[in-house]
Amino acid sequence: MAFSMGSSGGAMGEINMTPMIDILLVLLIIFMVIVPVTPKGLDALVPQPPKDPQKTPPNNDRTIVVQLINVPGHAPSYKINETDLNKADLLPRLSDIYSNRAERIMFVRGDDNVNFAYVAEVIDIGKAAGVDHIGLMTPKIMAGQ
């Protein structure tokens, strides 16, 4: 703290700003080092449309899509790759499909009017069947098919 004599003859105290600025710069450098440079987000798996729509992929059974089809006034109906199933049969069927697979990826496609609670149940059933990665298919992706 510096003292200067004022014109009135009394002592006047002034704060020396140099040490405070030094502390501020050190804290600024510490926070710049601590904050990560690249933001880390969630890894998302999105199905890509085929490069040539005329050709069908040779190994079409690798992609598993569970569909929820809206039935007005009732619970939705379920399909696994165009095969109709009951909700009770989803877990045994998915467990059978993923029992000998190295890639455990599944996609869930729901109609626009299906309640998300049903989609969440299918995701839980997929996790119980041993699926590692579950992707949601949106209407924008489905429009290209």
Q: Residues 29, 64: one domain?
A: no
**Where residue 83 sits, what CATH number does that domain have?**
3.30.420.270
* pLDDT of the residue at 92: 92
Q: Which residues pair with 5 in a beta bridge?
A: 11
Q: Which residues pair with 69 in a beta bridge?
A: 77
Tens digit of pLDDT for each residue in 109-119?
988 888 889 99
Identify whether 20 is part of a domain.
Answer: yes
Tens digit of pLDDT for each residue in 91-111?
999 999 888 888 889 999 988
Better-predicted residue by pLDDT, 28 or 7: 28
Q: How far apart are CA 32 and CA 19, in angstroms?
A: 20
Report the domain count for the chain: 2
The pTM assigned to this predicted structure is 0.55
Residue 131, burial from CB neighbour count under 10 angstroms (0-12, 13-18, 19+)? buried
Tens digit of pLDDT for each residue in 123-138?
999 999 889 899 988 7
Mean pLDDT of 4-32: 81
Identify whether 47 is part of a domain.
Answer: no
Identify whether 132 is part of a domain.
Answer: yes
Query: What domain range is 95 assigned to?
Result: 60-143
Q: How far apart are CA 56 and CA 60, in angstroms?
A: 8
